[in-house]
């Protein structure tokens, strides 16, 4: 190619770049008439680069696999973070050994750290919660069927409660002496008996609240005393909460608050059936599955207290306890009890 031809070619190249340059001064208008357009095929990729190393493709496969994991899978977030971490690690290897790209290595190092932190946190949340041996039966019988997570149960039983013991013959509560405002307890081991003025009312077996009627009735009325005597029939062990701290904790956990409402209501219902059938044993009490609405307005403690309003309490108590354990007989005894012991009209309509 001659020198004149090279000069024309260079002149064309210079004019073309000036025409498209964004840095051209506003006062200078390029001569577009002599400009020659560049064909489209010259800007397209003519020679593709060789395929990247296998490590690069395996990293992208990990990213794709993590993104297609269905959210219905129980551990999908753990798998997602794990696959993203593996993909970022492979990208770092590829950028360091095969590409020598510092920027790719730095960015993927940042992504790797972020995903690893999420992965470790998710695995930590899934760690098995070890429940104390003394509380495992309580959790399995009362809280696990209601889908209470083990970590929430551990928080409930690990901060503001303690396990206490009573020897046979010792009193948990004395009639007209012990305050009902201090605690709420669940029996873990042994058996307790409840009596009123020397008359046996019912037994309390493991995994049952000891003072649920008093807890329900004193949510609105504070400063009351136990109207019954509760004595350990065997060597007993029970879980005891501070009522004030328990109430505060339940206010911060709405789910657990509803669980406690249900459990206490159900326990009160079981005690009502025990009043109707004092021979009810522990195995039979496990089979009772009633709704707590039966005693939502009138608790068992109010039934106990109403005996003090008449001089015929002994005859009335015997009449109440003579009924059978069937639901129809229980309802008849409820009417007789309410009519005999002067329960208020509102309580009569709600309960009887």
Instruction: Quote the number of domains for the chain.
Output: 2
Distance, first Cα to last Cα, the chain: 115
Q: Residue 107 is part of which domain span?
A: 49-126
In a domain, 169, yes or no: yes
Give the pLDDT band (50/70/90) at residue 49. Answer: confident
Rounded Cα distance, 323 and 276, in Å: 6
Together in a domain, 90 and 139: no
Percent of the chain with pLDDT over 90: 36
In a domain, 261, yes or no: yes
Together in a domain, 80 and 189: no
Q: What is the pLDDT of residues 232-283, one digit of tens each?
A: 999 999 999 988 888 889 999 999 999 999 999 999 888 888 777 655 555 5
pLDDT at residue 328 is higher than 90: no
Give the pLDDT band (50/70/90) at residue 314. Answer: very low
Q: Which of these three, 257, 282, 307, is where a domain ends?
A: 282
pLDDT score of 322: 45
pLDDT score of 198: 85
Query: Between the ranges 10-24, 34-48, 282-296, where is the mean pLDDT highest?
Result: 34-48
Q: Are strands 171-173 and 229-232 parallel, antiparallel or unpaired?
A: antiparallel
In a domain, 201, yes or no: yes
Together in a domain, 111 and 149: no
Q: Mean pLDDT check: name the lowest of 214-218, 252-256, 336-340.
A: 336-340
Rounded Cα distance, 74 and 71, in Å: 8
Together in a domain, 142 and 277: yes
Mapped onto helix, strand or coil, the DSSP state of residue 13 is: helix
pLDDT score of 275: 76
Q: What is the pLDDT of residues 141-181, one digit of tens each?
A: 999 999 999 889 988 988 778 899 999 999 999 988 888 87
In a domain, 238, yes or no: yes
pLDDT score of 48: 78
User: Where does the chain have alpha helices with state H?
Assistant: 3-20, 54-67, 76-93, 102-125, 133-138, 150-158, 212-217, 243-252, 254-276, 282-287, 300-306, 313-321, 327-340, 345-351
pLDDT score of 286: 52
How large is the average pLDDT for residues 191-202? 89
User: Of 229, 223, 231, 209, whose CA–CA distance to 180 is shortest?
Assistant: 223
pLDDT score of 31: 53
Which tops the pLDDT comparison, 87 or 350? Answer: 87
Which tops the pLDDT comparison, 299 or 226? Answer: 226
Together in a domain, 161 and 267: yes
Mean pLDDT for all residues in the chain: 74
**Residue entry with tokens 């002067």:** 342
In a domain, 70, yes or no: yes
pLDDT at residue 23 is higher than 70: no
In a domain, 60, yes or no: yes
Together in a domain, 54 and 146: no
pLDDT score of 91: 93
Give the pLDDT band (50/70/90) at residue 8. Answer: very low
Whether the pTM exceeds 0.85: the reply is: no
Together in a domain, 181 and 97: no
Give the pLDDT band (50/70/90) at residue 74. Answer: confident
In a domain, 180, yes or no: yes
Together in a domain, 144 and 182: yes
Q: Which of these three, 239, 266, 282, is where a domain ends?
A: 282
Together in a domain, 85 and 221: no
Count of Cβ atoms closer than 10 Å to residue 96 Cβ: 15
Together in a domain, 259 and 204: yes
Kindly report the CATH number assigned to the domain that includes residue 240: 2.60.120.10
pLDDT score of 199: 87
Rounded Cα distance, 270 and 286, in Å: 9
Give the pLDDT band (50/70/90) at residue 294. Answer: very low
Together in a domain, 103 and 184: no
Rounded Cα distance, 205 and 208, in Å: 6
pLDDT score of 24: 45
pLDDT at residue 37 is higher than 60: no
In degrees and rounded to multiples of 5, residue 129 shows phi and psi of -90, 125
In a domain, 137, yes or no: yes
Q: Which of these three, 99, 126, 153, is where a domain ends?
A: 126
Together in a domain, 144 and 220: yes
Which tops the pLDDT comparison, 346 or 161? Answer: 161
């Amino acid at each position: 190619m001659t020198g004149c031809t090279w000069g024309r070619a260079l002149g064309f190249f210079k004019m073309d770049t000036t025409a498209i340059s964004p840095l051209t001064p506003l006062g200078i208008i390029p001569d577009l008439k002599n400009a020659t357009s560049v064909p489209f095929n010259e800007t397209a990729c003519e020679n593709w680069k060789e395929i990247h190393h296998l490590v690069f493709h395996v990293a992208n496969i990990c990213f794709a696999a993590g993104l297609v994991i269905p959210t219905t899978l129980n551990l999908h977030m753990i798998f997602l973070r794990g696959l993203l971490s593996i993909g970022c690690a492979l990208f770092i290897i590829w950028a360091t050994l095969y590409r020598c790209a510092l920027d790719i290595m730095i960015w993927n190092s940042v992504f790797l750290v972020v995903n690893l932190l999420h992965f470790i946190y998710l695995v930590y949340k899934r760690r098995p919660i070890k429940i104390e041996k003394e509380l495992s039966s309580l959790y399995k019988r009362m809280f696990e069927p209601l889908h209470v997570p083990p970590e929430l149960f551990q928080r409930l039983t690990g901060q503001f409660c303690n396990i206490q013991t009573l020897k046979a013959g010792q009193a948990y509560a004395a009639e007209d002496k012990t305050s009902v405002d201090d605690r709420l307890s669940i029996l873990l081991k042994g058996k307790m008996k409840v009596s009123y003025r020397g008359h046996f009312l019912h037994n309390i077996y493991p995994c049952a609240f000891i003072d649920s009627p008093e807890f329900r009735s004193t949510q609105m009325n504070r400063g009351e005393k136990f109207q019954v005597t509760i004595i350990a029939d065997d060597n007993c062990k029970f879980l005891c909460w501070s009522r004030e701290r328990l109430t505060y904790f339940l206010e911060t956990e709405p789910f657990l608050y509803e669980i406690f409402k249900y459990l206490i209501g159900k326990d009160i219902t079981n005690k009502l059936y025990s009043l109707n059938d004092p021979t009810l044993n522990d195995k039979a009490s496990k089979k009772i599955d009633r709704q707590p609405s039966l005693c939502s307005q009138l608790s068992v403690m109010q039934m106990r207290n109403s005996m003090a309003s008449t001089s015929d309490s002994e005859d009335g108590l015997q009449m109440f306890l003579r009924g059978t354990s069937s639901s129809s007989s229980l309802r008849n005894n409820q009417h007789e009890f309410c009519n005999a012991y002067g329960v208020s009209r509102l309580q009569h309509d709600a309960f009887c």
